[in-house]
Amino acid sequence: MAVIRPFPALVRTYAETLAMVAASTGIGLLIAPRWGNSPVDLLYLIPVLAAASLYGLRPGLFAAIASALAFNFFFTAPLHSLAVHSPADIVTMLMLFAVALVVSKLASGMRAQARLAASNAARNATIAGFAGRLLSCPTSAAIGEVTCGELATLFDANAVMFVGGEIAASAPAGANLNPADTAAAAWVQEHGLIAGRGAPRLNPAEWLFFPVKSGAHILAAFGLARADGTPPVPEERLALLESLLDQAALALERAALEGEMRDVASLRERDRLRGALLSSVGHDLRTPLTAIVAAAAELRRRSPREADLVATIEADSATLDRYITNLLDMARIEAGAIRLRTEPVDLVDAVAAASRDLARALAAHGLSVEIPPDLPLVRADPHLLHHILINILDNAARHSGPSSPILISAGKDEAGAFLSVRDEGPGLPDEGADFDRFARISGDDRNGGTGLGLAIVKGFADAMGVAVDAANRYDGTGAAFTLRFPEALLLGGQKETDGA
């Protein structure tokens, strides 16, 4: 590429080139009488090389012409004439022209590479400085302010950051978008493509918007606009803008991850304190509760006429004992301290034992049990299964209507065996339960209690490899909680057969 110089600089360039040719001629006139003309033609390579490398192709060709004329006029026969008679002199002139052409091309390429290297260095320095400033931004709002300020400075334009349907940051502050600009920004956030003024899409917009992506997720849209309406980003600077937006995307993703890490750390600390509270409260309540039960037994012995009062004390003590057991079991689940003692269990016996322990709570309800006699035994921890059934039955008793029946059924299907407890309450407000600790299922039939029961059920069932789900009954008369034992947990199932 030819370098365009102002006229005074152009005159100086050719004057310096001519001076170098004159200096080579003077030196040649000094050495020619002693050594002849052979070394003189080499002297003219110096001004040709210098002019071509320093000033470019045209000054190099000018030096080659001037050198050829000077060599022909002063050093070739006939002297002081421009006539050329020797083929060697013609070759010398052609070589000077070739040297000028080749050297100027090489020098031009080197200058272009130097300019490119300087441009890349400046671009990398800009990106590095921008990335360094983003590191000190703790929030997405701060990242947006820094990014908008940087874009406004580098591209001499107004800049905005558009997130979630509104402007999150701008430079200068207080920028406004008209409806067409807002539509363009929203479209960019939805589709992840450039839109706005100068783009193939949504030309009516005043701003040009670029998406900021993290993988397939679009984090924000940055817009640029100039007051005179000219395109804000020249094509040759588009790569710089894309690099800056990539840095902004990394910073936004980092800020989001840091926020999530803070939330996770807070949840872990809360869970740790909750576990400590569960264990402490459970153990601290167990001792006075044991004393209350013993006092009730003594009162029953001494005052038979107070049997009803004593029965109430004993029933409520049993309920409180169940709550304390749930607290301790929840602490065991969160601490990962559940140790399985698996053995064959008959579901008929398991249901009978749980029903017996909840006899007072189930007394007001008609309990119907439908378990086929040929149902295979299941491999489970009897203690954990007992607690699961107690919590499910207690939940059904508390949340069923007065005197409404509770149905316990079991059976076997292609997936394994199942045990279902169905009540006739209003049912679940949402199809299914989340089983989160302390999070009761909302609704008229799911209020009351500690909220730990279903969490205990889920934790113990997971430990044994048993699936548990909650849903409304098909006839809409209540809720159904179902335990599902896979084929591998059935005595005589696939695992049992393989081991035989």
The DSSP code for 440 is: P
Q: Are 487 and 500 in contact (CB under 8 A)?
A: no
pLDDT value at position 202? 56
pLDDT digits over 386-395, tens only? Answer: 989 988 888 8
pLDDT digits over 7-58, tens only? Answer: 577 888 888 888 988 898 888 888 877 776 667 777 877 887 788 777 777 7
Q: 343-499 architecture in CATH?
A: 2-Layer Sandwich (3.30)
In DSSP terms, which residues pair with 167 in a beta bridge? 162
pLDDT value at position 72? 74
Residue 452 tokens read as 């730990």
Average pLDDT over all residues of the chain: 79
Segments of 330-478 assigned E as strands: 343-345, 367-370, 378-380, 406-413, 416-422, 467-472
Supply the Cα-derived Rg of the chain in whole angstroms. 45
Residue 54 tokens read as 């320093």
pLDDT value at position 500? 34
pLDDT value at position 476? 66
Query: Which pLDDT band, with edges at 50, 70 and 90, does 306 fall under?
Result: confident
With the C-alpha atoms ordered 45, 50, 52, 58, is the resulting torsion angle positive or negative? negative
pLDDT value at position 1? 44
> What is the largest distance, in Å, between two alpha-carbon atoms of the chain?
154
pLDDT digits over 142-151, tens only? Answer: 888 998 888 8
Output 83 or 339, whichever has higher pLDDT.
339
> At residue 373, what are phi and psi to the nearest 5 degrees?
-70, -20
Q: Are 178 and 154 in contact (CB under 8 A)?
A: no
pLDDT digits over 451-462, tens only? Answer: 567 778 888 888
Average the pLDDT over each of 41-45, 217-221, 487-491 and give the range with the smallest value.
Answer: 41-45
Q: Write down the domain spans for the chain.
A: 7-127, 136-233, 258-337, 343-499
pLDDT value at position 289? 81
Please give the distance of CA 133 from its chain centroid, rounded to a whole number: 21
CATH fold of 136-233, please?
Beta-Lactamase (3.30.450)
- Could you give the CA distance from residue 132 to residue 283 in angstroms, rounded to a whole number? 53
First to last CA, the chain: 86
pTM (predicted TM-score)? 0.47
Output 192 or 271, whichever has higher pLDDT.
192
Output 99 or 416, whichever has higher pLDDT.
416
pLDDT value at position 430? 58
> At residue 301, what are phi and psi to the nearest 5 degrees?
-70, -40
pLDDT value at position 380? 92
Class of domain 258-337: mainly alpha
pLDDT digits over 402-451, tens only? Answer: 778 889 999 998 889 999 998 887 777 655 444 544 344 443 334 444 45
Q: How many CB atoms sit inside 10 A of residue 285's CB?
A: 16
pLDDT above 80: residue 158: yes
